[in-house]
Amino acid sequence: MHRFLLKLSSSSTNPLRNSKFQRLILPSLNLFASGSPPPPSANPYSADSFRKSRAFSSKSRALGVRCISSEAGREAIEYDVVIIGAGPAGLSAAIRLKQLCQEKNTDLSVCVVEKGAEVGGHVISGNVFEPLALDELLPHWRQEQAPIEVAASSDKFWFLTKDRAIPLPSPFDNKGNYIISLSQLVRWLGGKAEELGIEIYPGFSASEVLYNASDEVVGIATKDMGISKDGSKKETFQPGVDIKGRVTLFAEGCRGSLSEKIIKKYKLREEVNAQHQTYALGIKEVWEIDESKHNPGEVIHALGWPLDPKTYGGSFLYHMNDRQVALGLVVALNYKNPFLNPYEEFQKLKHHPAIKRILEGGTVLQYGARTLNEGGFQSIPYPVFPGGAIIGCSAGFLNVPKIKGTHTAMKSGMLAAEAAFGALHEGSNMNTYWDSLRGSWVWKELYAARNYRPAFEYGLIPGLAVSAMEHYVLKGKVPFTLKHGKADHEATDLARKCKPIEYPKPDGVLSFDVPTSLYRSNTNHDHDQPSHLRLKDPKIPEKVNLPEYGAPESRYCPARVYEYVEDEEGKPKLQINAQNCLHCKACDIKDPKQNIEWTVPEGGGGPAYSVM
At a CB cut-off of 8 Å and minimum separation 6, what does 247 contact?
A: 80, 81, 82, 387, 388, 389, 420, 423, 424, 430
pLDDT of res. 193: 98
Q: Where are the alpha helices (DSSP H) in 174-293?
A: 182-195, 257-265, 268-271
Q: Give exposure, 400-420, as e/b (b: 16+ Cβ within 10 Å).
A: bbbbbbbbbbbbbbbbbbbbb
pLDDT of res. 44: 44
More confident residue, 413 or 69: 413
CATH number of the domain residue 565 falls in: 3.30.70.20
Alpha-carbon distance of 154 to 167, in angstroms, equals 13
The tens digit of pLDDT for each residue in 446-490 reads 999 999 999 888 888 888 888 778 777 877 778 889 999 999 999
In a domain, 193, yes or no: no
In a domain, 544, yes or no: yes
Q: Is residue 42 pLDDT above 60, yes or no?
A: no
The tens digit of pLDDT for each residue in 177-214 reads 999 999 999 999 999 999 999 999 999 999 999 999 99
Q: How many residues in total does the chain contain?
A: 612
Strands 74-84 and 242-250 turn out to be: parallel
Confidence of residue 54 (pLDDT cuts 50, 70, 90): very low
CA distances from 332 to 32, 249, 403, 529 (A): 46, 28, 13, 32
- Give the containing element (helix H, strand E) for 406: helix 406-421
More confident residue, 443 or 55: 443
Percentage of the chain surpassing pLDDT 90?
83
**φ/ψ (deg, to 5) at 341:** -125, 105
**φ/ψ (deg, to 5) at 199:** -95, 120
- Report the number of distinct structural domains present in the chain: 1
**φ/ψ (deg, to 5) at 181:** -100, 115
Percentage of the chain surpassing pLDDT 70?
88
Active site residue 51: no
In a domain, 337, yes or no: no
First to last CA, the chain: 28
In a domain, 545, yes or no: yes
In a domain, 384, yes or no: no
Active site residue 393: no
Domain range for residue 589? 484-596
At a CB cut-off of 8 Å and minimum separation 6, what does 418 contact?
A: 96, 100, 432, 433, 436
The tens digit of pLDDT for each residue in 128-155 reads 999 999 999 999 999 999 999 999 999 9
Query: Which of the residues 125, 207, 259, 278 is marked catalytic?
Result: 125
pLDDT of res. 533: 98
User: 251: closest CA among 411, 138, 48, 51?
Assistant: 411
pLDDT of res. 72: 57
Q: Is the dihedral of CA 548, 554, 555, 561 positive or negative?
A: positive
3-state secondary structure of 574: strand
User: 85: closest CA among 293, 273, 248?
Assistant: 248
pLDDT of res. 15: 26
* CA 161 to centroid of chain Cα atoms: 32
Q: Is residue 126 pLDDT above 60, yes or no?
A: yes
Q: What is the mean pLDDT of the chain?
A: 89
In a domain, 575, yes or no: yes
Alpha-carbon distance of 464 to 447, in angstroms, equals 19
Q: Provide the residue type at 41 as one letter.
A: S
Active site residue 111: no
Q: Is residue 58 pLDDT above 90, yes or no?
A: no
pLDDT of res. 479: 82
At a CB cut-off of 8 Å and minimum separation 6, what does 317 contact?
A: 300, 302, 325, 326, 327, 328, 355, 358
Active site residue 125: yes
In a domain, 499, yes or no: yes
Return the bridge partners of 332, or none: 280
Torsion-angle region of residue 250: left (phi > 0), alpha (psi -120 to 50) or beta? beta
DSSP code of residue 321: S
pLDDT of res. 53: 33
DSSP code of residue 5: S
pLDDT of res. 74: 84
User: 150: closest CA among 133, 127, 134, 124?
Assistant: 127
Number of CB atoms found within 10 A of residue 531's CB = 16
Are the CB atoms for 279 and 333 separated by under 8 Å?
yes
Q: Biggest alpha carbon distance in the chain?
A: 78
Burial class, 228, CB count within 10 angstroms (exposed 0-12 / middle 13-18 / buried 19+): middle
Return the bridge partners of 367, or none: 285
The tens digit of pLDDT for each residue in 254-269 reads 999 999 999 999 999 9
Are the CB atoms for 557 and 598 separated by under 8 Å?
no
The tens digit of pLDDT for each residue in 65-106 reads 344 444 557 899 999 999 999 999 999 999 999 999 999 999
- Give the containing element (helix H, strand E) for 335: none
Query: Which of the residues 255, 370, 450, 453 is marked catalytic?
Result: 370
Q: What share of the chain is helix, strand, coil (3-state, %, to 5)?
A: 30, 25, 45
Alpha-carbon distance of 601 to 578, in angstroms, equals 9
Return the bridge partners of 76, or none: 69, 242
In a domain, 296, yes or no: no
Query: Which of the residues 53, 406, 436, 492 is marked catalytic?
Result: 406
The tens digit of pLDDT for each residue in 282-331 reads 999 999 999 999 999 999 999 999 999 999 999 999 999 999 999 999 99
**φ/ψ (deg, to 5) at 85:** 115, 120
pLDDT of res. 470: 77
The tens digit of pLDDT for each residue in 324-357 reads 999 999 999 999 999 999 999 999 999 999 999 9
Confidence of residue 45 (pLDDT cuts 50, 70, 90): very low
Return the bridge partners of 201, or none: 113
Confidence of residue 243 (pLDDT cuts 50, 70, 90): very high
Active site residue 520: no
